[in-house]
């Protein structure tokens, strides 16, 4: 399929926009309480999210703007899903839960901070993708929570979205803290190396200047006896 799309001259940015549009629809489905349909939409949307990069590389259409667009719309895709869940649990229905609204909001803020920390850190260090709760893991958790939701079911594995929100809320801030620590450690090591290089350079310059000086020779003057 990737080869067919690449040879069909499909613009990878179009695939990115289709993916985010499906994610917006997914957020609307969550808000209306249609969790199973939202889970299916989320799977299809993220297939497009995986395809755009592969099509860009295979067709030789990798651009800086394409990477920027993909990264920016990924953040939007995350946020609309969280907002949809907040709307669902805030509605005046039997599923109303202030705690779940809070967890969804905390997860939203945490996911944004994880992405921002990575983007800001990579302007200072080569790479900052540490942490166990990145976007692919968040998507998988959303899908598990959505497809397991069957109102009225007493099965232990059903209706796991509240548990998913707990994992997202706690795990996002853990990942954010991990990236903060990783960046601090990398920058500390970089600064230490830079200081050592500067010290060695100053020592070598001082040594060369000292070695280049020649003392004047003292001549012995013989006085006539």
Is residue 41 situated within a structural domain? yes
Asked if 84 and 28 count as a contact pair (C-beta separation under 8 A), the reply is yes
Position 225 confidence tier, pLDDT thresholds 50, 70, 90: very low
pLDDT at res. 116:
92
Is residue 20 situated within a structural domain? yes
| Residue whose entry in the numeric block shows the structure tokens 């795990």 | 171
Average pLDDT, the chain: 86
The domain spanning residue 129 has which CATH number?
Answer: 1.20.120.1760
Position 30 confidence tier, pLDDT thresholds 50, 70, 90: very high
- Where in the sequence numbering do the catalytic residues fall? 74
Is residue 208 situated within a structural domain? no
> For residue 225, what is the DSSP state?
-
> For residue 125, what is the DSSP state?
S
Taking phi over 0 as left and psi of -120 to 50 as alpha, with beta for the rest, 159 belongs to left
Count of domains for the chain: 1
Is residue 202 situated within a structural domain? no
Is residue 129 situated within a structural domain? yes
Is residue 201 situated within a structural domain? no
Position 198 confidence tier, pLDDT thresholds 50, 70, 90: confident
Is residue 225 situated within a structural domain? no
Is residue 170 situated within a structural domain? yes
Q: Look up the domain containing 24 and give its range.
A: 2-195
Q: Quick: pLDDT tens for 122-149.
A: 889 989 989 889 888 999 999 999 999 8
Asked if 121 and 178 count as a contact pair (C-beta separation under 8 A), the reply is no
Q: Is the pLDDT at 217 greater than 70, yes or no?
A: no
């Amino acid at each position: 399929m990737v080869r067919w799309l690449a040879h069909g001259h499909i613009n990878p940015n179009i695939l990115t926009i289709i993916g985010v549009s499906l994610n917006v629809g997914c957020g609307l489905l969550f808000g209306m309480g249609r969790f199973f349909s939202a889970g299916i939409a989320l799977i299809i949307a993220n297939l497009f999210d995986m395809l755009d990069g592969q099509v860009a590389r295979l067709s030789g259409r990798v651009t800086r703007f394409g990477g920027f667009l993909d990264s920016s719309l990924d953040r939007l895709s995350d946020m609309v899903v969280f907002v949809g869940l907040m709307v669902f649990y805030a509605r005046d229905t039997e599923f109303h839960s202030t705690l779940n609204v809070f967890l969804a909001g905390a997860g939203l803020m945490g996911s944004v901070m994880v992405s921002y920390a990575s983007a800001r850190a990579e302007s200072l260090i080569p790479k900052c993708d540490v942490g166990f709760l990145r976007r692919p893991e968040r998507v998988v958790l959303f899908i598990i929570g959505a497809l397991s939701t069957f109102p009225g079911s007493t099965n232990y594995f059903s209706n796991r979205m509240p548990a998913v929100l707990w994992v997202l809320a706690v795990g996002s801030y853990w990942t954010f803290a991990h990236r903060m620590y990783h960046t601090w450690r990398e920058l500390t090591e970089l600064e230490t190396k830079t200081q050592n290089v500067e010290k060695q350079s100053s020592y070598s310059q001082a040594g060369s200047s000292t070695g280049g000086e020649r003392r004047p020779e003292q001549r012995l003057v013989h006085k006539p006896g």
